[in-house]
Amino acid sequence: MLNLVLFGPPGAGKGTQSAKIKEKYNLVHLSTGDLLRSEIKAGTELGLKAKSLMDQGQLVPDEVVIGMIDSKLKENKAANGFIFDGFPRTVEQAKALDTLTEQNNTSISGMVALEVDEEELTTRILERGKTSNRADDQNEELIRNRVQEYENKTAPVADYYKAQDKFKSVYGVGSIEEIFDKLCSAIDSL
C-alpha cells in the first residue's frame, strides 16, 4: 500500500496536487479540512464546534480529526492506499496515524512537503478567498494566524518523519504540472 502524507502550509497547493496524485497512484484522498467543512455544511454537532475554531484560524482538537480519519480508514478497507492532506497537523496526530495504520496492517510510506514562502501564501489565499466562500480565506490577520499555527504546531511534524527517514520536500512555486512532476519523482523515490 502507498500511504502518503502531503505536507505544507495553508495555501501551498495541497488540494490541487492531491487531486492529481490521487488520480495517478489510484489512492483515496482524505482531507481533514474538506471533511470538517462537510460536517459544517451538514450542520452536525461536530461541525458546529469546529466552525468557530476554523473561522479564527485555529486548529480543531486532535481527538476530533483523529476520530474522523479512523472512520474513513475503516470505510475504505479495500483501498490501494491513501493520500492524507492537511493531516497530521500535530505530532500527536502523527503518532495516532501510525497506530491507526498499524491496526490496518500497513504504515505511512512517507511525507512529501510543498515549500512556499509566506508572501506568496498570503497572496494565494486572499485570491482564493474571492471565490472559496471560506471565512478563513478572506482576512489577512486570520491567514497570519493560520500560518502561525502552522509554524508552532505543524512544522514539527516534518521532524517526526525526518527522524524516520521518510521525508522529501519540493519547491512549490511554478506551474501546476512542473510541481506535480517534482512531487511524483519525490514519491517514487520514497
Q: Which of 4, 7, 21, 33 binds ligand ADP (CB under 6 A)?
A: 33
Q: How far is the CB of 13 from ligand ADP (least distance, A)?
A: 10
Return the amino acid letter for 126. Answer: L
The answer to whether the CB of 47 falls within 8 A of the CB of 40 is yes
Is 165 exposed, middle or buried, given 0-12, 13-18 or 19+ CB atoms closer than 10 A?
Answer: exposed
Residues annotated as catalytic are: 14, 89, 128, 134, 146
C-alpha cell of residue 40: 459544517
Contact between 89 and ligand ADP per CB under 6 A? yes
Q: Rounded distance, CA 14 to CA 32, Å?
A: 12
Q: What is the largest CA-CA distance in the chain?
A: 43
CB of 177 to ligand ADP, least distance (A): 21
Q: Does 54 bind ligand ADP (CB under 6 A)?
A: yes
Q: Is 26 left (phi over 0), alpha (psi -120 to 50) or beta?
A: left
Tell me how far, at minimum, the Cβ of 142 lies from ligand ADP, in Å. Answer: 9
H or E segment at 84?
strand 81-85
Choose the stretch contacting ligand ADP; rule: CB under 6 A; options: 19-27, 41-49, 57-65, 98-106: 57-65
The answer to whether 53 contacts ligand ADP (rule: CB under 6 A) is yes
32 scored as a contact of ligand ADP (CB under 6 A): yes
Which range of residues in 82-90, 103-111, 155-163, 176-184 is near ligand ADP by CB under 6 A? 82-90
Q: Which of residues 96-125 bind ligand ADP (CB under 6 A)?
A: none
Per CB under 6 A, the segment of 51-59, 74-82, 101-109, 159-167 that binds ligand ADP is 51-59
Where helices occur in 133-171 by DSSP H, the ranges are 140-149, 155-162
DSSP states of 18-29: HHHHHHHHT-EE
In the numeric block, which cell numbers belong to residue 67?
Answer: 476520530
**Binding status of residue 13 toward ligand ADP by CB under 6 A:** no
Residues that bind ligand ADP (CB under 6 A): 10-11, 32-33, 36, 53-54, 57-60, 65, 86-87, 89, 93, 136, 146
